[in-house]
Amino acid sequence: MMRARADPEQQRGRGAEDVADISRCPLTAAAGAIMFAGMNQQNVSITKDQAGRLIGAAGPGLVDLQVNGYFGFDFNSPLEQITGEGLRRACEAMRRRGVVTILATLTTDAVSRMVARLSRLVELRREDELAASIIAGFHVEGPLISPNDGPRGAHPAEYTVTPADEPDLLERFQAAAEGMVRLLTLAPELPGALELIEKATAAGMVVGLGHHEAPPEIIDSAVRAGARVCTHLGNGSHAMLPRLDNYVQRQLADDRLAAGFIADGHHIPFPTLKNFLRAKQPQRSVLVTDAVAAADMPPGRHGVGRRSRQLDTDGAVRLAGTPYLAGSALTLDRAVLNVARHCDVSFETAWAMASTQPAELAGLPEPGGITVDISEEGFQLRQ
Ligand SMILES: [Zn+2]
C-alpha cells in the first residue's frame, strides 16, 4: 500500500540537465522513505460561494486512527458505561461530520480491563450496523509506554508495563479484539519492544512509536524492525528537551516514518505544526483527533472518576483540576480546516491527510465518498 520512493539511482542518466539538478542527488533521498499514494489522487472537489468562500466539498470520507471517545461516549470507561446506545450516538455524531472510518483507541489501564473492553466493543460492534461500518478496528495505545513523567503524558504510571513483563500481551489483545487491532503504539526503548515490533508487523499490524524517549539508535532499530509511524508526534514528550537534537527532531527527520498530528492548536501551536508539516511533508503525515468523550460537546466536565476531563472554553481538554492536556475535543473536519487555514497546506491536501492517507497507513479499504456543506462550525454531511 505504502510505496517506497523510487530509487534515486534509477533516475540518473536522463541527460545533462539532470546531472546538474541537485534534487536528484542520491544523498538527499533516504532509502525506504514512506510516501502515501493517496496524495497524488486529485479526488476532492470544492464548491465556493460568490465571495470565494469555501461552502462545500465532495471527496473520500474522513478516517481517524485515534479516537478515545466522542460525543459523551468513552471507549475507555468502566465496562458498565460502554453501552450500545452511547456507541451508537457517538458514531452518528461522527458520521454527521463526514467521518466514515475510525480506529477505536484504548489507552493504558490494567491489562484485564483493556482486554474486557476490547471484547465488549467487538460484541457491541457486531450488534450495530453503523458501528460496524465506522469502527474498522482498534488502536491500542499503551500499556507498553514509558513510565516516566513527560513521555508518559496523561497515561497512569501504575499500569505501564514492558513487553518483557507481558510476553503474551499481543495475543491476549488480538484474541479479545478478534484480530482487529490494526495499530499498536509503544515505546521502543522498553525491554523486548524491538522483538514485539517485528512480531506485530509480521502479523499485519502497523506499529507506531509514541509516549517514548528513545535515543536515535533505538529509533533506527525500531524502524528496521518494522515501525512505520510516529503517534501524535510532538506530544507525549518532555516539556523541556535539548533544543537541536532530541527524539522529536529525529523522528521528524526520518523519512521512513510517517507521523500523526493533533491539529487543534493546543497540542501543537499552529506555527510549530506548520514547521513540523514542512519537515515531515504532508505526504508522510496524517491528521488524528485523539478525541475523548468531550469532543463535539459543550464546555464542562465530562466523564467520571479518574477519567474525568474538563473541556475548557478555549477548546482544550484537561485532566480535571490540572493544567495537563488529556486527549482533545477536536473533530476531524475541524482538523482539516485548521491545517488548511494555519499551516500553508491546501484544503485538498489537508483532506487527503485525514482520509485516504490514514486509510492507506493502517491498511484499511479506500474510504467511501462523502458530500459535505462547510461553515465555521465545520463539515455537515449532506443527505
Ligand atoms: Zn497519546
| Nearest Cα to Cα of residue 108 among 58, 70, 153 | 153
Whether the Cβ atoms of residue 181 and residue 140 lie closer than 8 Å to each other: yes
Question: CATH no. for residue 373?
Answer: 3.20.20.140
Whether residue 24 is contained in a domain is answered as no
107 CA → ligand 1 middle, Å: 8
144 CA → ligand 1 middle, Å: 12
Whether residue 91 is contained in a domain is answered as yes
Condensed to tens digits (0 to 9), the pLDDT of residues 213-271 reads 999 999 999 999 999 999 999 999 999 999 999 999 999 999 999 999 999 999 999 99
Residues for the chain: how many in total? 383
Sign of torsion over alpha carbons 229, 1, 287, 97 = negative
Residues 6+ apart with CB under 8 A from 377: none
Whether residue 7 is contained in a domain is answered as no
Domain of 265 in residue numbering reads as 53-381
Could you give the CA distance from residue 185 to residue 209 in angstroms, rounded to a whole number? 6
16 CA → ligand 1 middle, Å: 49
232 CA → ligand 1 middle, Å: 7
Could you give the CA distance from residue 155 to residue 141 in angstroms, rounded to a whole number? 10
pLDDT band with cut points at 50, 70 and 90 for residue 102: very high
Average pLDDT along the chain = 91
Whether residue 362 is contained in a domain is answered as yes
pLDDT band with cut points at 50, 70 and 90 for residue 43: confident
211 CA → ligand 1 middle, Å: 6
Number of structural domains found in the chain: 1
State the pLDDT at residue 309. 86
33 CA → ligand 1 middle, Å: 24
State the pLDDT at residue 38. 60
Whether residue 8 is contained in a domain is answered as no
301 secondary structure, DSSP code: E
Evaluate if pTM is beyond 0.85: yes
Ordered DSSP codes for 4-70? EPPPGGGG--S-HHHHT-GGG-GGGS-TT-EE-SGGG----EEEE-TTS-EEEEEEEPEEEEEESEE
51 CA → ligand 1 middle, Å: 40
Condensed to tens digits (0 to 9), the pLDDT of residues 127-158 reads 999 999 999 999 999 999 999 999 999 999 99
Residue 158, judged by CB atoms within 10 A of its CB (0-12, 13-18, 19+), counts as exposed
Whether residue 134 is contained in a domain is answered as yes
Whether residue 45 is contained in a domain is answered as no
Could you give the CA distance from residue 228 to residue 35 in angstroms, rounded to a whole number? 11
Above pLDDT 70, what percent of the chain? 90
222 CA → ligand 1 middle, Å: 18
Whether residue 138 is contained in a domain is answered as yes
